[in-house]
A and B are shown apart, each in its own frame.
Chain A
Amino acid sequence: ETGVTQSPTHLIKTRGQQVTLRCSSQSGHNTVSWYQQALGQGPQFIFQYYREEENGRGNFPPRFSGLQFPNYSSELNVNALELDDSALYLCASSHPSILYNEQFFGPGTRLTVL
């Protein structure tokens, strides 16, 4: 177990709705990254937050947004849900001082969009 927690575990939404996923980083980690993993695929980088600022973004539309809080926990928000947003959403926490900035992954949130 990495100490990274995510909630909820599973979520079912309908197309057009909005969703918020939450991640608590491992103690002492100030960086959180979010990934989307479609069924049968590898994770795709969505964005990264470092000390409450977004400092890197993958090829995802603006309806994917995030926040990082002073305690370094994080939220991923997705607006106007589409069927293709159905996936496992993973967050990973890290700290630049950790050798090679190793990322520690949470168990994920399974989002189903109907």
Chain B
Amino acid sequence: SQQGEEDPQALSIQEGENATMNCSYKTSINNLQWYRQNSGRGLVHLILIRSNEREKHSGRLRVTLDTSKKSSSLLITASRAADTASYFCAIRTDSWGKLQFGAGTQVVVTP
């Protein structure tokens, strides 16, 4: 069973627009991570946010975390065609161990 749930399941935007996707989860977490996957291949780690953090930035990525609502959001600003991929959130309930992934958001960025 999936621990995280991403919303929306799919997102289609044009280059230059912002893309926002959300992740909800059900348990207490140690940290939450976002990954990108191109065409069903390996996962690329994007950003990690700890349970005591509320916001993190990395380049064009902005992640927020609201532990009271058990939710997180990933914002990609000024999207590019190369951002076309599936994006997954994954929670970790302890400092090391398994990642529990959601079902992902499929993002398509058209030129």
Q: Which residues of A contact B (CB under 8 A)?
A: 2, 4, 31, 33, 35, 37, 39-45, 48, 56, 58, 88, 90, 92, 94, 96, 100-108, 110
Q: Are B44 and A56 in contact, CB atoms less than 8 angstroms apart?
A: no
When C-beta atoms are compared, the residue in chain A nearest to B101 turns out to be A42
Q: Which of B43, B45, B50, B96 contacts A43 (CB 8 A)?
A: B43
Q: Are B100 and A45 in contact, CB atoms less than 8 angstroms apart?
A: yes
Q: How many A-B residue pairs have CB under 8 A?
A: 66
Which residues of A sit under 8 angstroms from B35, Cβ to Cβ? Answer: 105
When C-beta atoms are compared, the residue in chain A nearest to B100 turns out to be A45
Which residues of B sit under 8 angstroms from A108, Cβ to Cβ? Answer: 40-42
Q: Are A41 and B98 in contact, CB atoms less than 8 angstroms apart?
A: no
Distance in Å: Cβ of A2 to nearest Cβ of chain B: 7
Q: Which residues of B contact A (CB under 8 A)?
A: 2, 4, 31, 35, 40-45, 48, 50, 88, 90, 92, 95-104
In the complex, A107 Cα to B43 Cα: how many Å? 7
Distance in Å: Cβ of A7 to nearest Cβ of chain B: 13
Distance in Å: Cβ of B99 to nearest Cβ of chain A: 7
Contacts A45-B98, A56-B97 known; A100 to B40 CB distance under 8 Å? Answer: no
Which residues of A sit under 8 angstroms from B100, Cβ to Cβ? Answer: 45
A-B contact pairs, 7 of them (CB 8 A): A41-B2, A45-B100, A96-B96, A100-B50, A100-B92, A103-B45, A103-B99
Q: Are A44 and B101 in contact, CB atoms less than 8 angstroms apart?
A: yes
When C-beta atoms are compared, the residue in chain A nearest to B97 turns out to be A56
